[in-house]
Amino acid sequence: MHSEYLPKQIAVPILLVSVCIIAICGILYELLISTISSYFLGSSVFHFSLTIGLFLSFMGLGAYISKFLKDENLLNGFIMIEIWLGFIGGASGSILYSSYALTENYYIYAFVLIAIIGTLVGLEIPVLARIVKHYFDLKETLAQVLSFDYLGALIASVIFPLFLLPYLGFLRTSFFIGLLNLTVGIFNLWLFREQIWLWQRKLILVGMAFVLYVAGFIYAFGISAYFEQFLYQDEIILTEQSPYQRIVVTQWKDDIRLYLNGNLQFCAIDEYRYHESLVHIPLAATPQVKNVLVLGGGDGLAVREILKHSKVEKIHVVDLDQAMTDLGRKHHLFKKLNKNAFDSPKVQIFNQDAHKFLEQTNNFYDLIIIDLPDPNDVNLAKLYTQEFYQLVSRRLSEFGAMVTQSSSPFFAREAFWCINHTLKKVFTNVVPYTVNVPSFGQWGFNMASRRGLNPPNLIQQVQTQLFETSPKKEFHFLNKAVIPTLFVFDEDMSEIPTAINQLNTQKIVHYYEKGWRKWND
């Protein structure tokens, strides 16, 4: 490239803006592939670490390859890199979705995508720096290019979690990034057309790809729904990407199922076994329950069970995701399942982080029910730590109790007992119990209090409160005979030694992944 073709005041701003945009795209591809992998396969720390490590390695390979490009081919090479990045990167979301839904080789496809995209991204900056060098000396070139590169990285890291993922979703974000790369290619192709061989033919081909990806952007939700249908047994009736999670609802006849980030949260045909056990055991074991706090439970099913106890006067529901509580409040299927629980004047909803809520509230509660998703990543695992349970303890009234869902003592045995042992670091009395939920398998809970919870007396107290006092409560699962069985753990679910889960260790994530991996492999 020769500087006389374009004046510096025109070429340099265009090239530096291109640096910023391609930096944005490069970071966004890393974040997108990591997030999709975590969505499908869990273990966010593993997939983010692996993706970033591989991506940087292939960027290094791309930077090395860039030295073989001759100076006279730099501009053409840069534009072709952008075109190929836009074409492959824009399709990356669809490729990953289809590979997971239709094949058993997801990691192969993900690795190939990381290799290609990482190498192309690694080529970009060295090539563009050599082009900019025609207008500046080396010191000025490095300062200008790296400044705009880092600025682009900052923008990408902010807009991905705050805007792109919540409002566009996986596939639309993928097409959007691809369109950014194609836009850079098209603009530079037109601007430097006098220096590009067969520029008109290339412009037509890139324009066709651009139109194709605009169509993909517009119909992205339909495309994702098509691929997601392969992931679920039943018909998908609702999908939504909230700022915090992917919400999918399926239906087959009367069986409604809720999935968050691909993980089953409840099945309408047997959810009552879970929620009756979660709510009524601690409620019956705790005297004078007037104020109840539910952490999670945005579907309203736990609140439905709490409202069967007329002595409860106030229920606070804390769920981070307003999209989830809106489903519980407004969607006709959810309202039918939870019997319009959120319409009760006793119920108040807070769309806040559970940890922050406990830190900031001045309220005391007679019962705290923790109905949160399993600790399958560090963001959720912090809500199963000793530090979190200390916050819970401070918000309990003098004779108050808490209960938490604790995953499966059979499928994730170490994780279950890790929760139990962590609670024992905070509470004087901790009692585990378990129930079989057909859609989940054997499931577990841990109840804790600062006062005595002696199982023989506890069983009698629960039986009396639930079945010998008026008004009579309606149950689909619980009866007087089944109560003692909830506190019996078979030998293959019995207590085993574990570490304590703390914020700085997050041991439970390892236990959880280890347990479920054995059954999913």
* Residues with active-site annotation: 371
CA nearest neighbour of 87 among 218, 220, 209, 215: 209
Q: How deeply is 230 buried, as exposed, middle or buried, from its count of CB atoms within 10 A (0-12, 13-18, 19+)?
A: exposed
What CA dihedral angle connects 9, 11, 12 and 18, to 10 degrees?
Answer: 140
> From CA 496, how far away is CA 421, in angstroms rounded?
10
Triad 328, 331, 334: Cα angle to 5°: 55
Both tokens assigned to 465: 């409160």
β 347-350/246-252 pair status: unpaired
> From CA 386, how far away is CA 506, in angstroms rounded?
10
> From CA 356, how far away is CA 347, in angstroms rounded?
20
β 347-350/314-318 pair status: parallel
> From CA 511, how far away is CA 506, in angstroms rounded?
9
Q: Dihedral sign for Cα 451, 453, 454, 458, please.
A: positive
Asked if residue 325 lies in contact with residue 245, where contact means CB atoms within 8 angstroms, the answer is: no
